[in-house]
Structure 1
Amino acid sequence: MDKKKMLLGVTGTIGAINLPQFIYTLREEYEIDVILTENAQRFLSPQAIRPFVKEVYENAFSDYSSKILHVDLVNEIDCFLILPASAATLSKIANGAANDLLSLSVLNYSGTIFIAPNMNNEMWNNPAVQKNIKTIKDFGHIFVNTASLGIKASSGEIVQTEAGLPTPEDLLELLDEEMGAVAKK
């Protein structure tokens, strides 16, 4: 069975440290290209995941032959996932801002994007973030976050958040379900 093609955007939140677990599970069904934003690279080295994915892209202007990356990467993909998604990335998506390879790729993609935000509840519940979430949902994109316990990065305190990452297995199941529903539309 041929694997589906995924473009996985990774942004600068603490959840980026969990990316190897997600890649391990997702690669069962997907051939994965990864875009690591500059801030994501503060949490995760490209070398840590490069052996497990098809390609890792670190910026829009790297020497990757004659490709126009933000156009070519979104062609012929079956799934576009942003995990984890920061509040800054949500703002870019909602407002059509594009200043890096991930945000440029978002603007060049006409399909449904799956978004797994990762932030504390104070950020998640901020009216500006909630406004961006509504706008993004109105665009037809799908949020795949979950309510969960997490460690507040600033204090080490265990807290409940609505913007937690699903388990890798739950994410894979959710993507299968949602992609099937999107395909039926």
Structure 2
Amino acid sequence: MLNGKKIVVGVTGSIAAYKTATLVRLLVKDGAEVKVVMTKSAADFITPLTLGTLSKNEVSIELFDESAWANHVMLGRWADLMVIAPLSCNTLAKMAAGACDNLLLAVYLSATCPVYVAPAMDEDMWKHPAVKSNLTKLESYGNKVIPVTNGELASGLFGEGRMAEPEQILDIIRTALAKKGSLSGKKALVTAGPTYEAIDPVRFVGNHSSGKMGIEIAKSLHEKGADVILVLGPVSGDIQLNGIKVNRVESAQEMYNACTTIFPAMDIGVMAAAVADYTPVEKADIKIKKADSTWSLNFKKTQDILKNLGGLKKDNQVLVGFALETNNEEVNAKNKLQDKNADLIVLNSLNDAGAGFGHDTNKITIFDRKGNESRFDMKSKKAVAEDIVQAIIKIIHA
């Protein structure tokens, strides 16, 4: 969250300026105080009224007019972070050269905070050597360049040069402002998603886990300054995890191998994945054809990742497990806490409507080794992740 953070959003003349409205809205919604500075050409693409309404602050365009002088020095010193989105090819060239012919450039040159830029231009412009040279200069000055994406461009072509989506930029800003957070310098391993246990090259045994809970925990840890590795099972959809290292796996054995290799070097381990308890004894090399009226499979237990990590755990490590239950919920969760040598067990029940697999919400109870339990109402999985991470922070800073 960006509560109390002060951010200057710079806007230049690009069709991608329509995305800036969403970015400003997201920043304000996340708790930031936002002030917008525009070039004159930017106002041809999006109105100052729109951005002023969304930011709840008057938009600045002119360095001076007949009645007032915009104090660019104070504005540059006011911000915790400045982001220029979109950054046009023209403004990029001026920034690289140190030019100062408008208010936005004056604020940039006066800024004492980190400066992030999100370029937006057509593919041929993006790949031009002069643009690459200017970007290199900008980075050499200490600025951070937010990578462009690949997709449909204003010219109608498809390729590189699209400005990053507002949600991606928000994640990058959160990460930048969290580097001095409560988990700065800590390393965290998180697992998420299901595992698929192959029957043959076509079929598998799996579960309904979407991975949403573990992904939100990884994001929350990262926002608080931790370096996060996410071991992610086979989940669907486009997942944006800027700054988080993702290790994709499919089977329970692959997840076990990854976790036991990574965990010894971690400070935190959060096992949120829905790992299969059993896997077929044999996997057919070719597709099994339909033949008999009945078909049976033999299964064997998978290796218990949480228990094995509990056996590896050192005194300075925090290990968190999950218990998804349908009956004897609290008893099973408390037993799991002891049996697996975990520091926290997060209980959620499939008996609670809106909790568990596939939902955007969850309802949890957290148990710790001292016998404490914390119950939480139904919340978004993002908010639940925050509760879990706060419980981890409490242990680390105890």
With structure 1 as the length reference, what TM-score do the two structures score? 0.88
Residue 42 to residue 181, structure 1, CA distance change in 2 (3 Å): same
Per-residue CA deviations over 1:129-177 (Å, capped at 9, x if unaligned) read 1110001011111011332202333xxx24111x322222221111112
- After superposition, where does 1:4-153 map in structure 2 within 5 Å? 4-29=5-30, 30-53=32-55, 54-62=57-65, 68-153=70-155
How far residue 63 of structure 1 moved from its aligned partner, in angstroms, is 6.2
Q: Percent identity?
A: 26
The structure, 1 or 2, with the larger RCO (C-alpha pairs under 8 Å, 6+ apart) is 1
Once residues 85 and 127 of structure 1 are traced to their aligned partners in structure 2, the CA distance between those partners, rounded to angstroms, is 17
2:177 equivalent in structure 1 = 179
| Bigger radius of gyration among the two | 2
Residue 111 to residue 48, structure 1, CA distance change in 2 (3 Å): closer
Once residues 119 and 49 of structure 2 are traced to their aligned partners in structure 1, the CA distance between those partners, rounded to angstroms, is 24
- Structure 2 residues not aligned, in runs of 5+: 186-398
Per-residue CA deviations over 1:69-108 (Å, capped at 9, x if unaligned) read 2112112211100000001111111111000000111111
Residue 64 to residue 149, structure 1, CA distance change in 2 (3 Å): farther
Aligned to 1:74, the other structure's residue is in SS state: helix
Structure whose residues are more often helix by fraction: 1
- Whichever residue aligns with residue 24 of structure 2, its letter is I
- Whichever residue aligns with residue 18 of structure 2, its letter is I
Tell me how large the CA RMSD over aligned residues is: 2.2
Once residues 126 and 153 of structure 2 are traced to their aligned partners in structure 1, the CA distance between those partners, rounded to angstroms, is 15
Moved more, 26-35 or 96-105: 26-35
- Whichever residue aligns with residue 173 of structure 2, its letter is L
Aligned to 2:92, the other structure's residue is in SS state: helix
Residue 181 to residue 137, structure 1, CA distance change in 2 (3 Å): farther
Contact 1:114 1:142 in 2 (8 A): yes
- Structure 1 residues not aligned, in runs of 5+: none
Contact 1:81 1:114 in 2 (8 A): yes
- Whichever residue aligns with residue 117 of structure 2, its letter is I
Contact 1:10 1:34 in 2 (8 A): yes
Residue 123 to residue 4, structure 1, CA distance change in 2 (3 Å): same
Once residues 67 and 132 of structure 2 are traced to their aligned partners in structure 1, the CA distance between those partners, rounded to angstroms, is 37
Aligned to 1:50, the other structure's residue is in SS state: helix
- Whichever residue aligns with residue 88 of structure 1, its letter is N
Once residues 110 and 180 of structure 1 are traced to their aligned partners in structure 2, the CA distance between those partners, rounded to angstroms, is 17
Aligned to 2:177, the other structure's residue is in SS state: helix
- Whichever residue aligns with residue 71 of structure 1, its letter is V
Once residues 60 and 174 of structure 1 are traced to their aligned partners in structure 2, the CA distance between those partners, rounded to angstroms, is 29
Aligned pairs, how many?
180
Per-residue CA deviations over 1:13-64 (Å, capped at 9, x if unaligned) read 1101222111111112311110110110111111122212122012111467
Moved more, 1-10 or 135-144: 1-10
Once residues 62 and 117 of structure 2 are traced to their aligned partners in structure 1, the CA distance between those partners, rounded to angstroms, is 20
- Whichever residue aligns with residue 39 of structure 1, its letter is S
Contact 2:93 2:134 in 1 (8 A): yes
Contact 2:80 2:114 in 1 (8 A): no
Residue 112 to residue 182, structure 1, CA distance change in 2 (3 Å): farther
- Whichever residue aligns with residue 42 of structure 1, its letter is D
Once residues 182 and 100 of structure 1 are traced to their aligned partners in structure 2, the CA distance between those partners, rounded to angstroms, is 33
Once residues 42 and 63 of structure 1 are traced to their aligned partners in structure 2, the CA distance between those partners, rounded to angstroms, is 22
